């Protein structure tokens, strides 16, 4: 159950970009923030935590940027194109680096890193799509 789609439509200010791409990006950002927060914690509980340190750090960064991006994209009033683009670029960047790191651990059998990889890849792609539409 999600509220992003009806809220985009009910906002008195029309969205500045394709609605489907916007809704997907908002949802991907919030979902990735949750996944990264949970994955950082799962890493913290692993016996061989020394190997998870970079993953924890990048997950914390990724969660912070995904939340900022998800909140900014949820606003349609007085939209500022340059801010949206710079934010999407930063979010895409951290999702790429964090997703790469999580994938390494997923290949070593950590299921929580596998799930987090999916969240990061999806968010990176959603940001990329939106950025392309906003740069057209």
Question: Cα 25 vs. chain centroid, distance in angstroms?
Answer: 8
CB of 134 to a second copy, least distance (A): 14
Rounded CA separation 109/119 (Å): 17
Do 36 and 62 meet the contact criterion of CB atoms below 8 Å apart? yes
Backbone angles phi, psi at 108, to 5 degrees: -95, 10
CB of 66 to a second copy, least distance (A): 9
Summarize as ranges the residues that interact with a second copy (CB under 8 A): 1-4, 6-13, 26-27, 30-31, 33-35, 37-42, 44-47, 49-50, 53-54, 56-58, 60-61, 63-65, 67-68, 70-72, 74-78, 80, 82-83, 86-87, 89-90, 93-94, 97, 110-112, 115-116, 118-119, 122
């Amino acid at each position: 159950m999600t509220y992003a789609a009806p809220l985009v439509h009910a906002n008195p200010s029309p969205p500045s970009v394709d609605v489907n791409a916007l809704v997907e990006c908002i949802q991907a950002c919030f979902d990735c923030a949750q996944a990264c927060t949970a994955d950082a914690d799962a890493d913290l509980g692993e016996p061989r935590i020394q190997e998870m340190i970079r993953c924890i750090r990048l997950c914390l960064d990724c969660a912070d940027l995904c939340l900022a991006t998800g909140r900014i994209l949820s606003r349609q009033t007085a939209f500022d194109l340059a801010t949206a683009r710079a934010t999407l670029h930063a979010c895409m960047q951290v999702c790429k680096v964090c997703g790469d790191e999580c994938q390494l651990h997923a290949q070593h059998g950590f299921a929580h890193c596998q799930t987090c990889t999916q969240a990061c890849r999806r968010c990176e792609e959603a940001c990329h799509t939106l950025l392309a539409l906003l740069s057209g």
